[in-house]
A = this chain, B = another copy of it.
Amino acid sequence: MPSDGKSGAQGVDPEQLWLRPAEPRRGRRPSFSREAIIAAAVELADAEGLDAVTMRRVAAEVGAGVMSLYSYAPDKETLLNLMVDHVSGELTVTDPPSGDWRADLKTVAHLQRAHMLRHPWLPAALSTHRVPGPNTLAFLEHALAVLRPTGLDGASKLEIFAQITAFVAGYVTHEIAQAAASRAPDRAAAERRYLAAVAADGRHPELAEALSAPGRPLTPDSTFARFLSRLIDGLDTG
């Protein structure tokens, strides 16, 4: 499924990427498949993070030469887009909207959060690679259906979906950083010591008090639900 797809500007051309028919019935048959390459890249990212996804490592994983990858994706940025849409295939929604659009929208966001926690590289990849593929569009279609009862116009519905997604990505990014910090106790302790030192300098009384009276520790689940409710319950139709 190769092609040269000349593109004048920078970035990824969605038409070249997603609307390409599978025509070539001549010439040497492909030894690999786009699917296998994407799957290998996703596996790498899941296991070792986005930085581990190099063309060389992906090629080694599928047993191909490095440059063979370029027959299946014109460049790495495209490969990242393909990865994002690939995992978005897990976001399949079976239930039709219930009619309670706020509840449905919260379900959408919870699905997204679980999805991003399963693929921790997603928030970072999403922030730079935003060419929606078929799986992403299927999920968008569902979100728009959920928002139908609001009677809002198209631009508003799209904006709400984009903002919810951005919110979830931001939240999960933060959540993952916290979790990583607690898995590196040395670093977390160093940060606590640093903040304590700052709080003790007398010029940060509010910080000092906040650190000395922390209150009950917050769980990511309930905090997420709380912020999400605030955001969604505040949405008004019209």
Contacts and interface: CB of A to CB of B under 8 A. Distances in A.
Interface of A: 8-9, 11, 13-15, 18-19, 123-124, 127, 130-131, 134, 137, 140-141, 144-145, 148, 152-159, 162-163, 166-167, 169-171, 173-174, 177, 184, 186-187, 190-191, 193-194, 197-198, 203-207, 209-218, 223, 227, 229-231, 233-235
Given A170-B166, A170-B169, A186-B8, A194 B15 contact: yes
Given A210-B154, A218-B156, A163 B15 contact: no
A186 B9 contact: yes
B15 A193 contact: yes
Contacts of A216: 153, 155
A215 B150 CA distance: 14
Tell which of A170, A193, A198 has the most Cβ of chain B within 10 Å.
A170
Contact of A174 (B18, B141, B166): B166
Q: How many copies does the complex hold?
A: 2
A166 B173 contact: yes
B11 A187 contact: yes
B131 A217 contact: no
Given A13-B187, A19-B197, A230-B230, 10 more contacts: A9-B184, A9-B187, A127-B173, A141-B204, A153-B214, A154-B210, A162-B174, A163-B171, A227-B231, A229-B234
A190 B169 CA distance: 26
A162 B187 CA distance: 19
Given A144-B210, A167-B167, A191 B131 contact: yes
A175 to B, nearest CB: 10
Nearest to A232: B230
Nearest to A209: B154
Contacts of A154: 209-215
